Structure 1
């Protein structure tokens, strides 16, 4: 079945632990549903803690030409010309229309350096450990670890201390203006931004590009840094994780829970969502 006239569907997806396997970073189990979405003309929009180079490589592998959300909602990048006109509040840079929601990475690095004397040996972060350290933290190959460290708006932090001190650390960061999000592996430190705000802004741009069109959106995630996005979308798909519980949502309606893990759960949930609109083979 084809998309009904006057209706648009959007898929906003987390990557690590959702589209990508938590351990191997593979998306093979999700590939059939990715191809199905492409056949239907439904944009798949990465919304992730990952950097621009990381997402660009994955988009190239998948043949994905759609916008994407970087560094936990710090910015939305839209390929120039994707819409008929440049969206309001964006800047054009390096082939993208960019809507920025966060201050640059340098601000957060300065705060983390200042706090190191208060919390000695209790945390590490990508910039300080360098590429070799990111390899150890993530098990990524060196080239991909280099991409992961090319951050523009945020900083991943690995907490090494106990839970009480972690709460104190987060409080100190927040008092300095940072927003701290718990991801599958790391604390994400950035400005006053989140995936939900970025999703809502980009969804509005899609709607404004086709006035009068009914928009149905699905947000897919597995961890705490997906919370705002999962709350913001019409439908939320929570992907089962092998290492932590489902994130706790306020909403009860319009929620799909996968039974499979990672990309297999991603495919399971997407199939369920498409079925609910009778968009199936």
Structure 2
């Protein structure tokens, strides 16, 4: 049986209804009274990660484009991961992008391709998933990625991997989440759990949810990614968490609201 954490979030902040609408409230309407202060003139929001982060960026962009404050920056790249610095060195990429764009908020979502062996080029070694060497080097890279963003002055949210349809992938995702969470939090990031939001009451993979009078599919056919509406549902959780953990950014972020 799952913890019910997602139900706590949704009950207190009506996130399920908010995500069903797929719209963003004006910043002042959403947080002006509660958060206090005016929205900043510009809030640079940098997305980093693989196809999960890419899908989230692409789904949120059309909605946020209509608002004057948030500026979404796409630092994502599909078919990449933390394990293969020879293909795409996420630590270096993070360092360079935060220096270039000076974001106030950085969102990481990565790991869908990280069940393969981890390559350490300088040692000419490959560590299989699930081994101590894998966990050690993977955690070190997550720490470096987070550290570059934190040291540049950004607030950091790290999204955990969602539940997945295939049991072997779901089990691996849980292992990877444990490594990511410990490393990201130790380096100064705030962890955003997505497992409960993508599981039913018994902890099983959840492909669709009830939305108003209909049931809507929010997971893609591959059992890993999301539909456009599904990404907005995760976006609701992301923005709610950002406002809760970083209240100074809340006026510039807004939140998803019910239709």
TM-score, length basis structure 1: 0.29
Larger gyration radius, structure 1 or structure 2? 1
TM-score, length basis structure 2: 0.31
More helix by percentage: 2
More strand by percentage: 1
Higher relative contact order (CA 8 A, sep 6+): 2
